[in-house]
Amino acid sequence: MTFRFQQLSDYGASEPICARLTIQINELLEFCNISKKQKEDIFGTMLLNVVPKLMVCSRIKEQLTKEIRDHQKKIDEKGLNFQAQGRAYTLPAVVNLQHQAETFLYNAKSALRDFTTVFLIFFSKDFKKEARYDKVLKWTEQKYGKGDPLSKMLADDQVWLLRIVSMRNAVEHPGGHSGTLHIENFMGEELPPTVLVIEPMWFLNTEKKSPIARDMDVFVTNLLTFFEETLLLCIQKFPSGFPVGFAEIPEAQRDPKCPVRFRVDLTEMLNVPPKSAR
């Protein structure tokens, strides 16, 4: 027999997204009373669909943030390049900003869409791979009630979840139901005798402009936490038959080689995971 080896990604257990959505979830699923196939399907969904797309978002966020900060540092150190006795000046620019923003939103929405598969695996509830978490919320409220931890978390997260989906829909269908996504590179606001340089911004329709790099950072953090905590709350609904809880590891105490956030605690019942970054 011939053995073949193939590297499918350039990130590993030291990457928090990978550690928390694959290794951690695989370990916690061992204490969930569902079939082996269900566990394998959940792990496969995260490993092959959700994590790669969230990693794309993270890489774009990191690269874009670095490029913006490098431009800002250069301006702080050397100032703007003025010509024509100060009547013209050159602004920095992020190369391929439009493409990077659109790719980020595509992968963020796609990860949300793929993640709905876990509800099919856990509960046999098929959301047709639509990133419609308003429908997921309606279902959880009908099935478990508005006071259920999963329902409450979904209700709390509706605003930012809808914003990601709406921004991506506006890219796919400009001027359609979601409207238009506006993306601005570095801009200059003239405040004589100086010019205020404004970092890249985006906004949907007539909403207030917001920094792209900052929003991407919040979105990546929110998505990671949302996927992780949703899985924990789903696992909670299939108890293993004996008291088991999930204790959060303080960030400073997490192993940098595999920075998982939760560990199994057999001495206490599961508590609702704390909110973060939302």
- Residue 169, pLDDT score: 96
Question: Which domain does 132 fall in, by range?
Answer: 16-79+88-177+211-265
Lowest mean pLDDT among 40-49, 115-124, 172-181, 232-241: 232-241
Residues 6+ apart with CB under 8 A from 75: 92, 197
> How high is the pLDDT of residue 86?
58
Assess if residue 276 is contained within a domain.
no
Does 187 reside within a domain? no
Q: Is 278 exposed, middle or buried (0-12, 13-18, 19+ CB in 10 A)?
A: middle
Residue 28 has pLDDT above 80, yes or no: yes
Query: In the chain, how many domains are there?
Result: 1
Mean pLDDT (the chain, rounded) = 89
**pLDDT at position 210 over 50:** yes
Answer yes or no: is 198 within a domain.
Answer: no
Check residue 5 and give its pLDDT. Answer: 41
In-domain check, residue 20 = yes
CA separation for the pair 3, 84 (Å, rounded): 67
In a domain, 199, yes or no: no
Give the range among 53-67, 114-128, 229-243 with minimum mean pLDDT: 229-243
Q: Residue 249 falls within a domain, yes or no?
A: yes
Whether residue 7 is contained in a domain is answered as no
Provide the pLDDT for residue 245. 78
Task: Please state, in angstroms and rounded to a whole number, the distance separating the CA atoms of residues 269 and 246.
Answer: 8
Q: Is the pLDDT of residue 193 over 50?
A: yes
Does 193 reside within a domain?
no
pLDDT greater than 60 at residue 6? no
